[in-house]
Amino acid sequence: MMKKACFVLMVFFFSILAGTQELQHETTAVNIEVPVRVFDGDTFVDFLTIADFEVYEDGVLQKIDAVYLIKKTEIKKETKDKAAMEKKYKPQVSRYFVMSFFLAEYLPRAREVVDYFFDNVIQPGDTLTVITPLKTYNLKSEILEKMPPKNIKDQLNGILRKDITMGNSEYRHVIKDLVKAAQGKLTDQYLIALDYLKQLRYVDQMKLIQFADFLKTIKGQKYVFVFYQEESLPLLEPDIAEQIDPNSPGSMRRATFFMDVASEDISIDVDLLKRAYSDSLTSIHFLYITKDLINPMDIEFGSLQGMRFVDKSGDIFQAFNEIARTTGGISETSANISYSFKKAAYASENYYLLYYTPKNDQCDNRFRSIKVVVKDKKYEVIHRAGYVAKKSP
């Protein structure tokens, strides 16, 4: 639950940072950039040219002006339409990475994620932001280039272990309060703990939109890796619930209030978020870690007799799975955090930049859907879902 509150806090940090950045990307209906990833199974297809692609906007076939093949931060190949040769495109290949660790327990393989990133992914000119359950750490390109990679890895791994462990303490505290109140049949204390638990699960949707707006201000290619651990909530068994303050009017309703809390989904307008993040030209990779949040056998503060843990990650999983898909990122489910990250990193490092000029040149502030296909081939094609046709300031 702590990670829910921390997610809101993280977005708050970014909304502050957004005010200090130079505005770089204001989407207009002049020319549209679409990062496109093409896979044959798990292998990136790197031999395509402009003649192999078709792009549709709101179902209408568009004319492609140029296609660039990018690997890491290098332009490997470019092909242009003859009629568009005079147009000058300057693909931004610098990269801004965000690694968001929403983990309620420290996973030893998180070290492998950090080590792999600095050994195989980071390049000169790249920038990294790391978000833990407690703080946000910004590592600008100058810092990354000056400090020895080993020093950065050691410091960052230490920070992750400390912040994730400390961030989990609030979760354990509220669970402890619930167990003590249930075992002591203390209705008021039990309901107070339940209410606090519900507050921790609150997600501020406007802050999520502000985060998407902030990402628009970042130059180059942007990648957000969301490491999200399976969330289990403690559920009081009905026969135990009936024993809590049995003589109080309405006690059954009050005592089983937690069942309502546990069954509630977090209210998120997924379509709104999908459009906002797709328009921000950011690839969101959602890496869902299936290891249980807490093993009841490991809890230090007593027996959990009369309570059971129920997976309640469905609401968050559904939302971020959709966001990843519509931003051209991937959604991966695994118990191995290192494996998931390596797969997402590979997907990020190879792509095509496709440019076209929309036939509908009206800047009407409406969302335009994009569909890219590879002609006569059965490849998996991944790209952002669309953009908002905004007027230039």
Domain that holds residue 160: 2-29+94-352
Structural domain includes residue 305: yes
Helix H or strand E encompassing 373: strand 367-374
User: For 271-307, b where at least 16 C-beta lie within 10 A, e where not — what string?
Assistant: eebbbbbbbbbbbbbbbbbeebbbeeeeeeeeebeeb
Q: What is the CATH number of the domain that holds 253?
A: 3.40.50
Within a domain: residue 66?
A: no
pLDDT in tens, 256-281: 544 455 445 566 788 888 888 888 99
Quote the pTM value.
0.82
pLDDT at position 253 is 45
Q: Is residue 358 part of a domain?
A: no
CA–CA distance, 292 with 307 (Å, rounded to integer): 16
Q: Is residue 16 part of a domain?
A: yes
Encode burial over 214-244: b for 16+ CB neighbours within 10 A, e otherwise: bbbbbebbbbbbbbbbbbbbbbbeeeebeeb
pLDDT, tens digit, for every residue of 285-325? 999 998 655 554 445 444 556 666 677 777 788 888 989 99
Q: Is the residue at 371 inside a domain? A: no
Domain count within the chain: 1
Q: Does some domain include residue 292? A: yes
Query: Is 23 inside any structural domain?
Result: yes
- Could you read off the pLDDT tens digit of each residue along the chain, which spans 393 residues? 334 434 433 433 343 343 333 323 333 447 899 999 999 998 999 999 999 999 999 999 999 999 999 999 999 999 988 777 767 788 989 999 999 998 878 899 999 999 999 999 999 889 999 999 888 999 888 888 888 889 999 999 999 999 998 877 777 777 777 767 766 667 677 778 777 776 766 667 888 888 889 998 898 999 999 999 887 766 666 666 656 554 554 444 444 544 455 445 566 788 888 888 888 999 999 999 986 555 544 454 445 566 666 777 777 888 889 899 999 999 999 999 999 999 999 999 999 999 999 999 888 889 999 999 999 888 999 999 999 987 655
Q: Tell me which amino acid residue 41 is.
A: G
Give the sign of the dihedral formed by CA 75, CA 81, CA 86, CA 89: negative
The reply to whether 51 falls in a domain is: no
